Amino acid sequence: MSSQSFSRPGAVDLSALNAAQPQQQGRPAAGAGGFVIDVTEATFQSEVLTRSMSVPVVIDFWATWCEPCKTLSPILERLAAEYEGRFVLAKIDVDANQAIAQAAQVQSIPTIVAVLRGQLVPLFQGAIPEAQAKQVIDQLLQMAVANGVAGRADPIPGAGPAADAADAADAEPQEEPSDPRFDAAYEAINAGDFDKAAAAYQAVLAESPADAEAKAGLAQVDLLRRTAGVDDAAARVRADAEPTDVDAQLLVADLDVATGDVEAAFDRLIGTVRRVFGDDRERVRSRVVELFEVIGPADPRVAKARSALANALF
């Protein structure tokens, strides 16, 4: 795969790695920040597959003899710190973990892939500039939102400069089982059929109108439909030029949420609420509430935005 391509979750089966060895806790990567971890065959289930149910996991396949890896790995580690838990970077030494490399069909290094809900997402091969790597990560986060993986990881115990390595034993992730009611929606999203995915969520809501996960999934699919194919730069130029253009502000807020910049999206929309009136204000308020569903009511950013929205309205 070229360094500029981006694929949806593929059919590569990583499940065979689950039971190869007793599962252990992974170790924070030496010298890295709180969202980077060294992963082995023994820790792959807990640190990658299980973790990917709630937060995207980016895998950096590398080796000590690989010169391009020495350029790319620090870039990915900086991005992991910058995104503050929107994804976790898992570093895998291919020489020491050949079974994982074979399962992921790694042919050269560095190879960068991601895992969402246990599904492999090929990203790119070879060293690329930081701006381009950031663009790929943003695309991954947009795909994660569409797949209902919109969580934020806590700093990995033992991964900070002041952390104690003994803390790592207390952080075993809890597996989040998949709900078969949503399999059709996930398959449709992976195929790029957002209308079919929305219909699948609506079918669940027809049976269970109060189902919070189905509501969130439908809101996430609607977000992906609104942002698919949008020229990000052009949208932002328009929004900056016309602060009271509601359509422009709504679109850029959607783009911010899709790429993980949730606070910027809420700040933009609540600022717009203060500038517009009547039906326009109601449209913006409704979008803010819809984005609450996308992010999740328990997220502290939602609680903060809910309070700010009330102040702006009243």
The residues annotated with a catalytic role in the active site are 66, 69
Comparing CA positions, the residue from 131, 154, 51, 174 lying closest to residue 59 is 51
Write phi, then psi, for 34 (nearest 5 degrees): -80, 5
Q: Would you say 123 and 140 are in contact if contact means Cβ atoms under 8 Å apart?
A: yes
Query: Rounded distance, CA 28 to CA 31, Å?
Result: 9
**Cis before residue 122, ω within 30 degrees of 0?**
no
Query: Rounded distance, CA 30 to CA 36, Å?
Result: 9
Angle, helix 212-227 to helix 246-258, in steps of 10 degrees: 110
Separation in Å, CA 123 to CA 95, 110, 127, 138, 244: 21, 11, 12, 11, 38
Other beta carbons within 10 angstroms of residue 150's beta carbon come to 23
**Is 276 strand, coil or helix?**
coil
Query: Rounded distance, CA 69 to CA 46, Å?
Result: 25
Query: Rounded distance, CA 291 to CA 304, Å?
Result: 13
